[in-house]
């Protein structure tokens, strides 16, 4: 105990300096992560030997605490707390740890269904097991493969109605290098190892069939290995800001143009946007828009129901972590030359901080777009042309979950719009097959024959965003604007028109919506109106919708029931952030957007959260093999009577950019 006490004291001393500068929503620092670990490991609650960390993140103060702190940011920093999920003795332990007084505030064992995030070390350990397992070595030999070229990977297995809690198991599947790094298109079919992650033992091994591994030829994607003919090259192009970027980063807070926002890294959500406010020059203040926004879940069910594939119905955020899967971004390729990078930190299995360099990038985007324009030629004797180029602020992160790469952008426009965009790239998940030509195929192959012996399997992507809009305050309402056909009274030759009827949506069940009908969806502040009397709000310009095609009572759809609609609104509840549940791995679907909203809470004039899903049904094509050209989708949150008038009307026309010109006389 004495040594623990000493460590705590010294840690608190160390923390006292940087924490003065910290923002209450800043992610845990490496020192804070270390401190959390020490506090938990130092307690008598759990044995040190068996404890593994699955999630370590900031336990945020309440919204009211944060907002009151922000209104007077000069006073001392708020107490810092962490939320931790750890595994020990085959149980999930939840801790709330106070960093300010170095103690565990609460601790309990989670007895519900599902398991926490997988950490990287246990995935790695599970991957290694087979290589010391004689039947596996025999299977590899039987196939005539070189075991040095075998690449394992952990696949979560979902839940298929098993009554008893069947353990924290995953399947390890195998892929083959042999001349290409593109292992995902070279599966070793037939072999599956079921691993219990808590016991870290193989609980089941199967070698059902031998299918030849698809050829390596044509699967390489590294530029250094490419041989002519190359795709046509174009001349260099880059973005230049001779006077540097316009945004200011202070810790995790960014200010740019009239925007102000906070960025944080979370091992599960990846990038978290908080406290996005915009300065209104009429009201002379920063106005609240988005209290918090992040990807909540990413549901990717594959559409092959056979023994080797049926369980592949991933909840990528909750199982693998969008932060844990975030990659180090590269300047000039992942992000443009004018980007600034930020790091992220997460706790590994032992609770040690791990740095993820360049986890986000921040840049100003100018793509030649136009923010607004008009040419006036009705006025005789003059032609007026006024154009403002569209420059925006982008915060980007990329998560690579095994084969797939998700490029996620939050874009802030000077006009007040917030856009979220997702780009899908990476490698299609493929199944080895004996087919070498489509004419041989007489059955459903559940996908597309993309090259010889390779079927890219049909699947969906549902990217569900958590959007805690607080339009000018926490108390908001959800309004559905319906465009309705009206018949005229015959006083003019026109027979019809449409009118907008705005309907206040009072409860959660009524706020379950598909955006396939002409509808305007607004989050408004019911207590605030423009000078003209219009309700102040933001509207959702929805992204691509994909209506789920799984049966509603099929297990993956029960777990992924947050995709049953593409718009939901919930009453704010600090614990309801993960659309597929806090314990998503092997979840039973009892903690989802669907179950929460079945309570049908009142959402009128309350602190509410908007949820929106971008969906893709993906039937692969050869053009997407062996790496997929990016497919884009996104949505926009657009001011709707939020401003008294266009807030960038008085944006000054840009001056010519004074690029450095060079004097030819060199010594």
Q: Which of 345, 404, 406, 466 is catalytic?
A: 404
Q: Give yes or no for residue 420 binding its own copies (CB under 8 A).
A: no
Is omega for the bond preceding 334 within 30 degrees of 0, making it cis?
no
**Minimum separation from the CB atom of position 432 to its own copies (A):** 15
Q: Give yes or no for residue 200 binding its own copies (CB under 8 A).
A: no
Q: Give yes or no for residue 250 binding its own copies (CB under 8 A).
A: no
- Residue with Cβ nearer its own copies (403 or 570): 403
Site string for its own copies, 77-96 (x = CB under 8 A): --------------------
**Minimum separation from the CB atom of position 575 to its own copies (A):** 30
Binder of its own copies out of 6, 208, 598, 630 (CB under 8 A):
630
- Residue with Cβ nearer its own copies (10 or 436): 436
Binder of its own copies out of 72, 74, 111, 306 (CB under 8 A):
306
Per CB under 8 A, the segment of 42-50, 150-158, 164-172, 560-568 that binds its own copies is 150-158
SS3 33: helix
Per CB under 8 A, the segment of 14-22, 31-39, 218-226, 588-596 that binds its own copies is 218-226
Binder of its own copies out of 61, 77, 389, 473 (CB under 8 A):
389
Report the 10 Å Cβ neighbour count for 225.
Answer: 10
Residue 554 CA, distance from chain mean position: 25
With a CB cutoff of 8 Å and minimum separation 6, the contacts of 238 are 332, 336, 337
Binder of its own copies out of 232, 434, 442, 574 (CB under 8 A):
232
- Residue with Cβ nearer its own copies (405 or 576): 405
Q: Give yes or no for residue 105 binding its own copies (CB under 8 A).
A: no
Instruction: From residue 4, give the alpha-carbon distance in Å to each of 40, 125, 145, 218, 341.
Output: 10, 29, 51, 57, 36
Q: Which of 26, 266, 316, 472 is catalytic?
A: 316
Binder of its own copies out of 75, 132, 163, 517 (CB under 8 A):
517
Binder of its own copies out of 59, 122, 316, 405 (CB under 8 A):
405
Pairing mode of beta strands 169-176, 191-196: antiparallel
* Cα–Cα distance measured from residue 258 to residue 390, given in angstroms and rounded to the nearest whole number: 14
* Cα–Cα distance measured from residue 379 to residue 611, given in angstroms and rounded to the nearest whole number: 47
| Helix or strand run (H / E) with residue 161 | none
Mark 573-582 as b/e (b = at least 16 C-beta within 10 Å). Answer: eeebbbbbbb
**Minimum separation from the CB atom of position 194 to its own copies (A):** 14
Q: Give yes or no for residue 112 binding its own copies (CB under 8 A).
A: no
- The question of whether 585 is a catalytic residue gets the answer no
Helix axis angle, 30-42 to 2-20, nearest 10°: 150
- The question of whether 316 is a catalytic residue gets the answer yes
Per CB under 8 A, the segment of 4-12, 485-493, 560-568, 601-609 that binds its own copies is 485-493
Considering only residues 347 through 386, tell me which ones interact with its own copies, judged by CB under 8 A. 363-380, 384-386
Binder of its own copies out of 143, 626, 635, 637 (CB under 8 A):
626
Size of the site for its own copies (CB under 8 A): 192
Binder of its own copies out of 86, 275, 335, 342 (CB under 8 A):
335
Binder of its own copies out of 29, 52, 156, 415 (CB under 8 A):
415
| Helix or strand run (H / E) with residue 397 | strand 384-401
- Residue with Cβ nearer its own copies (9 or 500): 500
Q: Give yes or no for residue 494 binding its own copies (CB under 8 A).
A: yes
Q: Give yes or no for residue 402 binding its own copies (CB under 8 A).
A: yes
Measured distance between the N- and C-terminal CA atoms of the chain, rounded to whole angstroms: 70
Binder of its own copies out of 2, 20, 49, 532 (CB under 8 A):
532
| Per-residue tokens: 273 | 């946007």
Q: Give yes or no for residue 305 binding its own copies (CB under 8 A).
A: yes
Per CB under 8 A, the segment of 54-62, 99-107, 197-205, 390-398 that binds its own copies is 390-398
Residue ranges of E strands in 572-643: 606-618, 628-640
Report the 10 Å Cβ neighbour count for 625.
Answer: 20
Instruction: From residue 494, give the alpha-carbon distance in Å to each of 157, 485, 490, 518.
Output: 60, 13, 7, 22
Pairing mode of beta strands 353-376, 340-347: antiparallel
Whose CA is closest to 5, among 258, 525, 13? 13
**3-class secondary structure for 38-91?**
HHHHHCCCCCCCCCEEEEEEECCCCHHHHHHHHCCCCCCCCCCEEEEEEEECCE
* Cα–Cα distance measured from residue 224 to residue 205, given in angstroms and rounded to the nearest whole number: 38
Q: Give yes or no for residue 194 binding its own copies (CB under 8 A).
A: no
Q: Which residues pair with 231 in a beta bridge?
A: none
8 A C-beta contact, residue 202 and residue 194: yes
8 A C-beta contact, residue 102 and residue 90: no
With a CB cutoff of 8 Å and minimum separation 6, the contacts of 10 are none
**Minimum separation from the CB atom of position 320 to its own copies (A):** 12
* Cα–Cα distance measured from residue 411 to residue 23, given in angstroms and rounded to the nearest whole number: 22
What sign has the CA pseudo-torsion 69, 70, 76, 80? positive
- Residue with Cβ nearer its own copies (2 or 532): 532
**Minimum separation from the CB atom of position 566 to its own copies (A):** 12
Binder of its own copies out of 72, 76, 164, 233 (CB under 8 A):
233
| Per-residue tokens: 430 | 């493929």
Per CB under 8 A, the segment of 12-20, 71-79, 514-522, 592-600 that binds its own copies is 514-522
Q: Give yes or no for residue 414 binding its own copies (CB under 8 A).
A: yes
Binder of its own copies out of 315, 394, 505, 513 (CB under 8 A):
394
- Residue with Cβ nearer its own copies (47 or 622): 622
Binder of its own copies out of 62, 72, 234, 575 (CB under 8 A):
234
CA 32, 33, 35: angle at the middle one, nearest 5? 60
Considering only residues 436 through 475, tell me which ones interact with its own copies, judged by CB under 8 A. 436-439, 444, 446, 448-452, 458
With a CB cutoff of 8 Å and minimum separation 6, the contacts of 459 are 300, 301, 302, 303, 429, 618
| Per-residue tokens: 114 | 């599902």
Considering only residues 640 through 659, tell me which ones interact with its own copies, judged by CB under 8 A. 640-659
**Minimum separation from the CB atom of position 172 to its own copies (A):** 11
Q: Give yes or no for residue 604 binding its own copies (CB under 8 A).
A: no
Backbone angles phi, psi at 376, to 5 degrees: -110, 115
Q: Name residue, tokens 């460590």.
A: 7
- Residue with Cβ nearer its own copies (66 or 610): 610
Binder of its own copies out of 122, 266, 470, 624 (CB under 8 A):
624
- Residue with Cβ nearer its own copies (200 or 486): 486
- Residues labelled catalytic: 316, 404
């Amino acid at each position: 105990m004495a040594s623990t006490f000493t460590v705590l004291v010294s840690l608190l001393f160390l923390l006292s300096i940087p924490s003065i500068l910290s923002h209450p929503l800043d992610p845990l620092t490496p020192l804070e992560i270390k401190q959390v670990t020490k506090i938990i490991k130092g307690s008598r609650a759990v044995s040190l030997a068996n404890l593994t960390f699955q999630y370590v993140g900031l336990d945020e103060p309440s919204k009211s605490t944060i907002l009151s702190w922000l209104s007077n940011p000069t006073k001392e920093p708020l107490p810092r707390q962490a939320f931790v999920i750890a595994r020990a003795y085959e149980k999930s332990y939840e801790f709330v740890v106070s960093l300010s007084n170095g103690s565990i505030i609460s601790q309990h064992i989670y007895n519900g269904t599902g398991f926490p995030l997988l950490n990287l070390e246990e995935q790695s350990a599970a991957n290694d097991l087979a290589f010391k397992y004689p039947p596996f070595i025999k299977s590899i030999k039987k196939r005539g493969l070189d075991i040095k070229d075998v690449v394992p990977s952990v696949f979560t297995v979902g839940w298929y109605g098993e009554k008893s809690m069947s353990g924290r198991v995953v399947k390890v599947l195998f892929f083959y290098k042999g001349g290409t790094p593109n292992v995902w298109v070279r599966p070793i079919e037939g072999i599956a190892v079921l691993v219990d992650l808590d016991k870290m033992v193989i609980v089941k091994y199967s070698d059902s069939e031998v299918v030849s591994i698809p050829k390596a030829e044509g699967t390489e994607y590294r530029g250094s290995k490419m041989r002519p003919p190359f795709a046509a090259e174009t001349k260099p192009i880059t973005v230049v800001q001779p006077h540097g970027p316009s945004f200011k980063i202070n810790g995790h807070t960014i200010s740019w143009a009239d925007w102000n926002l906070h960025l944080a890294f979370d091992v599960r959500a990846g990038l978290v946007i908080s406290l996005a406010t915009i300065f209104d020059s009429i009201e002379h203040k920063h106005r609240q828009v988005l209290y918090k926004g992040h990807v909540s879940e990413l549901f990717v069910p594959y559409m092959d129901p056979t023994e080797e594939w049926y369980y592949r119905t991933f909840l990528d955020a909750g199982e693998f972590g969008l932060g844990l899967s975030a990659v180090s971004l590269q300047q000039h390729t992942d992000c443009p030359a004018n980007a600034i990078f930020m790091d992220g930190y997460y706790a590994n299995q032992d609770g040690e901080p791990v740095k993820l360099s360049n986890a986000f990038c921040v840049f100003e985007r100018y793509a030649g777009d136009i923010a607004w324009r008009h040419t006036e030629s009705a006025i005789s004797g003059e032609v007026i042309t006024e154009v403002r180029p569209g420059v925006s602020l982008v915060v980007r992160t990329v998560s690579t979950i095994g084969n797939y790469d998700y490029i996620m952008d939050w874009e802030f426009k000077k006009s007040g719009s917030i856009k979220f965009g997702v780009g899908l790239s990476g490698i299609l998940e493929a199944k080895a097959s004996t087919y070498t030509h489509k004419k041989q195929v007489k059955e459903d192959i559940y996908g597309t024959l993309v090259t010889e012996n390779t079927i890219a399997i049909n699947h969906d992507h549902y990217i569900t965003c958590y959007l805690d809009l607080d339009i000018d305050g926490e108390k908001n309402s959800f309004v559905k604007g319906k465009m309705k056909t009206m018949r005229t009274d015959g006083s003019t030759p026109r027979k019809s028109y449409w009118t907008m009827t705005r309907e206040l949506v009072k409860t959660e069940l009524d706020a379950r919506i598909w955006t396939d009908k002409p509808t305007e969806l607004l989050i408004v502040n019911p207590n605030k109106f423009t000078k003209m009397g219009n309700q102040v709000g933001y509207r959702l310009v929805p992204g691509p919708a994909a209506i789920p095609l799984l049966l509603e009572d099929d297990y993956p759809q029960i777990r992924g029931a947050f995709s049953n609609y593409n718009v939901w609104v919930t009453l704010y509840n600090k614990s309801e952030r993960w659309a597929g549940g806090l314990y998503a791995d092997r979840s039973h679907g009892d903690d989802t957007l669907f179950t929460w909203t079945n309570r049908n809470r009142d959402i009128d004039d309350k602190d509410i959260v908007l949820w929106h899903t971008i969906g893709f049904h993906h039937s692969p094509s050869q053009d997407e093999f062996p790496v997929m050209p990016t497919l884009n989708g996104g949505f926009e949150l657009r001011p709707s009577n939020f401003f008294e008038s266009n807030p960038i009307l008085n944006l000054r026309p840009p001056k010519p950019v004074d690029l450095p010109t060079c004097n030819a006389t060199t010594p």
